[in-house]
Amino acid sequence: MRLTGLAAAAALMLASSPALAQGPAAQPEAPWYPSRYGPDDQIGAMNLLTPEKVLEAARLVQRGQVYRLGVPVGRDTPAFPPRSAAVTVMMPDQFGGALVPGATGPSENRMSYADDMFTGWLGVGSQIDSFAHLGIDNRFYNGNHAHDFMRTTGVTRLGIEGIPPMVTRGVLVDMARARGKPMLEEGELITADDLRAAMRDQGVEVRRGDVVLIHTGWVALLEQDPPRFGKGEPGIDNGAADFLAGLGVVAVGADTWGVEAVPFKNPNRIWEGHQTLLAKNGIHILEVMDTRALARDQAKEFLFVLGQPLLKGAVQAIINPIAIR
């Protein structure tokens, strides 16, 4: 197609002007480090978990009802590629039914035992993300650069073992109920306005130091359709992550494997919510939380308890937190 007059001139301007050819120039990002808790801080929003906050949360226990929020993890658990996990059980030195030896021969009490070995990734099933998990241009929470602390033998800062026990008030936002269906769809977005509306309608108040869990119904696919569970998910967008960060929460979780909506609305902007929560605000992310029982009972608030495994230098950990009402 031939260009004439103004059309040819406009095409020439676009070709010679990168700013015009690529659209408006990107605005420089606002500084996001050092942290509001100080340039040496490594625990982020967990600074908000004071003894007073723990006592506030403990007063929520009225029924003695306990909810398991973790899911069983095994060889068939769908996970973000290339992650997998496997347990191998062995009975060392007991081949063919042999007994464990005592001091001078087979044990008189005929002792047998089994051991197990875990082989896999720590980001499978129900998990917590440390601040060393995801960053921005090789910088992680509080501006820590990967080359300063990232080692194949384990991170030297921001590791799982440095996260204090998480004992606080938890709240549930039931987005499936808010949308009048048992389960949201792949890629279905939850915006800040959606969260505000659901919280208002369900009487959910978020306070500083809380853990916020979002129920979408997606976790049911772990049993009903595991391949579909791992291929996509409903979830928050970056605006919702920013909204939750502004409320002063210590962790954001969901019954999905990544908390954010996948496929991404813009496939060239990926896991921005993780960047906002982990890197910019020091807020932990809890994935694959089994919120079904809480949603069934329409629980709005509860005591949330998590003591993660103290795996030195790990950036994630498989967890099983509990909610108590």
DSSP string, 28-93: PPPP--S-TT-TT--SGGGGG--HHHHHHHHTT-SS--EEE------TT---STT--EEEEEE-TT
How confident is the model at residue 3, as a pLDDT?
35
Alpha-helical regions (H) of the chain: 5-16, 18-21, 51-58, 146-149, 175-178, 192-202, 221-224, 226-231, 238-246, 272-274, 292-296
Q: Which of 283, 314, 272 is nearest to 142 (CA)?
A: 283
| 126 or 103, higher pLDDT | 126
- Both 105 and 54 in one domain: the answer is no
Q: What is the mean pLDDT of residues 305-314?
A: 97
Q: Mean pLDDT over all residues of the chain?
A: 92
Q: Is residue 133 part of a domain?
A: yes
- Compute the CA torsion angle 53, 162, 312, 149 (nearest 10 deg): 150
Report residue 27's pLDDT band, with 50, 70 and 90 as the boundaries.
low
Q: Is residue 10 part of a domain?
A: no
- Both 103 and 233 in one domain: the answer is no
Q: Which of 312, 29, 307 is nearest to 168 (CA)?
A: 307
pLDDT at 52 over 50: yes
Q: What is the mean pLDDT of residues 143-168?
A: 98
- Both 250 and 134 in one domain: the answer is yes
Q: What is the pLDDT of residues 262-282, one digit of tens each?
A: 999 999 999 999 999 999 999
Pairwise CA distance, residues 186 & 149, whole Å = 36
- Both 219 and 172 in one domain: the answer is yes
What lies within 8 Å, CB to CB, of 227 at 6+ separation is: 78
- Both 48 and 163 in one domain: the answer is yes
Q: Is residue 24 part of a domain?
A: no
Q: Is residue 38 part of a domain?
A: no
- Both 160 and 300 in one domain: the answer is yes
User: What domain range is 242 assigned to?
Assistant: 44-74+122-324
Pairwise CA distance, residues 116 & 197, whole Å = 47
Report residue 310's pLDDT band, with 50, 70 and 90 as the boundaries.
very high
Q: What is the mean pLDDT of residues 287-302?
A: 98
Q: Is residue 20 part of a domain?
A: no
Q: Which of 71, 85, 7, 88 is nearest to 256 (CA)?
A: 71
- Both 194 and 219 in one domain: the answer is yes
For residue 63, give both structure tokens: 């029924």
Pairwise CA distance, residues 183 & 174, whole Å = 10
Percent pLDDT > 70 in the chain is 91
- Both 144 and 169 in one domain: the answer is yes
Provide the whole-model pTM.
0.89
Indicate the number of domains in the chain: 2
Q: What is the mean pLDDT of residues 78-92?
A: 95
Q: Is residue 15 part of a domain?
A: no
Q: What is the mean pLDDT of residues 283-292?
A: 98
For helices 192-202 and 238-246, give the axis angle rounded to 10 degrees. Answer: 50
- Both 115 and 131 in one domain: the answer is no
- Both 196 and 244 in one domain: the answer is yes
How confident is the model at residue 53, as a pLDDT?
98
For residue 254, give both structure tokens: 């969901």
| 195 or 22, higher pLDDT | 195
How confident is the model at residue 152, as a pLDDT?
97
Least confident of 26-30, 99-103, 188-192: 26-30
| Residue carrying structure tokens 């081949």 | 95
- Both 58 and 159 in one domain: the answer is yes
How confident is the model at residue 26, as a pLDDT?
52
**What's 260's domain CATH number?**
3.50.30.50
Residue 4 three-state SS: coil
Contact 222, 318 (CB under 8 A): no
How confident is the model at residue 93, as a pLDDT?
87
- Both 248 and 305 in one domain: the answer is yes
How confident is the model at residue 30, as a pLDDT?
84
Q: Is residue 25 part of a domain?
A: no
Q: Is residue 19 part of a domain?
A: no
pLDDT at 182 over 70: yes
